[in-house]
Chain A
Amino acid sequence: MLRTTTTLAAGLIAAATVGWADADDNELVINGEIEITTEAAAPAYVEGLSEIYSGWRFREVDTQATQMDDFDNPAFLAVDAAKEVWDTVEGEAGKSCASCHGDVMESMKGVRAVYPKWNETAGEVRTLAMQINDCRTENLKAEAYDYTSDEMTAMEALISVPSRGMPVNVAVDGPVQSTWEQGKEMYYTRYGQLELSCSNCHEDNYGNYIRADHLSQGQINGFPVYRLKNTKLNQVQDRFKGCIRDTRAETFKPGSPEFVALELYVASRGNGLDVEAPSVRN
């Protein structure tokens, strides 16, 4: 294994009560039929890891079970709500999502797996959330959602459903390369009074406990995530914000160019894991 244990801010890791416990060996099959790859060889550009694991593999069995049946997974309350929105005419163009895209389960197959991605017309890297808002303002002539709103996470969750079981395959080169490099640099930059980078916890110390939290690799193939903690869907950049805030830093804003770059880079670290959004975590 490539990783070494970095000494974090005094007391954080040291207070572990349960000791070291790597990803478990459980297998994720949703509804008894969708087999999800939760472990894969790390992409070559992820130098600090040899294997990549879904965050699902670091959770307790009860939390894992909640994601294995769409009825038990409370994220599907939001998916149901978004399905109605999908079919409802909204905005001055008199169109719904379905007017152009038809059946979400068909038209959106594979979409979640390749975002964030380059948009040639706009000349920018777009997250799924940015694309949803672009569709709303340009095609529906409706108001954009707030970036981390419940409406946004619900729509992201709905669009993710048909990609479950398909491998994350985010482009890292070509026109996105400079953004990807920016994201990579952020990943390894220590932020805040605690001087912690993403990598300190999620690359050097995954599997360890930070107080009572079992650290995962911080993979985002399950976002948006229904968290037991706040009992709602959480947007990936909102999670980034929480993580950076916990380092006692001034954080970037969800939707900012910095977080778009970080999302692209972190997504690419999970290339090879399957999309499992909307997932359930602690």
Chain B
Amino acid sequence: MATGVKPRVKVPGSASAGEVITIKTLISHQMESGQRKDGDGNKIPRSIINRFTCDFNGENVIDVTMEPAISTNPYFEFQATVPETGEFKFTWYDDDGSVYEDSKSVTVG
């Protein structure tokens, strides 16, 4: 089981209505590929975050299916349209069933 998993998210705090903003996310995770072997030659089992989603007020921005080829500490940068004041919700889904969440509010004014 992955320990010490912590997300970081960068979102502007305010925007004008309909503005396109850039979002960056980073989460601490080993992303064990399932390809490596330990010192005794045994395969280390795969343990990755397999999906990442970003929604704003319940509507989807991006939904990423992630494979073991995504690097340790997965990083994403993408753009979102902000139609109104509300909240971005970020969700990462771990192979082991864990779900990591973060959220950021954006004020339109």
B24 close to A (CB within 8 Å): yes
Which one of B6, B26, B73 contacts A81 once the chains associate, using CB atoms below 8 Å?
B6
Q: A81 contacts which chain B residues (CB < 8 A)?
A: 4, 6, 28
Q: B37 contacts which chain A residues (CB < 8 A)?
A: none
Best-surrounded residue of A77, A81, A231 (most CB of chain B within 10 A): A77
B72 close to A (CB within 8 Å): yes
With CB as the reference atom, state the residue of chain A lying closest to B27. Answer: A77
Number of contacting residues on A, CB 8 A?
Answer: 9
Cβ contact within 8 Å between A231 and B8: no
How many angstroms from the CA of A77 to the CA of B4 in the assembled complex?
A: 10
Cβ contact within 8 Å between B6 and A74: no
Q: How many A-B residue pairs have CB under 8 A?
A: 24
How many angstroms from the CA of A147 to the CA of B69 in the assembled complex?
A: 31
With CB as the reference atom, state the residue of chain B lying closest to A84. Answer: B6
The size class of the interface chain B forms with chain A is 10 to 19
Which one of B6, B10, B71 contacts A231 once the chains associate, using CB atoms below 8 Å?
B71
B75 close to A (CB within 8 Å): yes
Cβ contact within 8 Å between A74 and B4: no
How many angstroms from the CA of A29 to the CA of B48 in the assembled complex?
A: 34
Cβ contact within 8 Å between A74 and B10: no
Best-surrounded residue of A71, A76, A81, A231 (most CB of chain B within 10 A): A71
Cβ contact within 8 Å between A77 and B73: yes
B interface secondary structure, majority: loop
Which one of A71, A77, A80, A232 contacts B10 once the chains associate, using CB atoms below 8 Å?
A71
CB-CB under 8 A for A71 and B26, given A77-B73, A231-B72, A231-B73: yes
A interface secondary structure, majority: mixed
Cβ contact within 8 Å between B72 and A77: no
Min CB distance, B38 to chain A, in Å? 16
Min CB distance, A62 to chain B, in Å? 12
Min CB distance, B32 to chain A, in Å? 12
A143 close to B (CB within 8 Å): no
Min CB distance, B68 to chain A, in Å? 14
Chain A residues 211 to 234 lying within 8 A of chain B, measured CB to CB, are: 231-232
Chain B residues 59 to 101 lying within 8 A of chain A, measured CB to CB, are: 71-73, 75
CB-CB under 8 A for A71 and B8, given A77-B26, A77-B28: yes
A72 close to B (CB within 8 Å): yes
How many angstroms from the CA of A281 to the CA of B73 in the assembled complex?
A: 16
With CB as the reference atom, state the residue of chain B lying closest to A230. Answer: B72
Min CB distance, B15 to chain A, in Å? 18
Q: B71 contacts which chain A residues (CB < 8 A)?
A: 231
Q: B10 contacts which chain A residues (CB < 8 A)?
A: 71
Which B residues contact A (CB, under 8 angstroms)? 4, 6, 8, 10, 24, 26, 28, 71-73, 75
Given A231-B72, A232-B72, 12 more A-B residue pairs with CB atoms under 8 Å apart are: A71-B8, A71-B26, A72-B24, A72-B75, A74-B26, A74-B75, A77-B8, A80-B6, A81-B4, A81-B6, A81-B28, A231-B73
11 residue pairs A–B, Cβ–Cβ below 8 Å: A71-B10, A71-B24, A72-B24, A74-B73, A77-B6, A77-B28, A77-B73, A80-B8, A231-B71, A231-B72, A232-B72
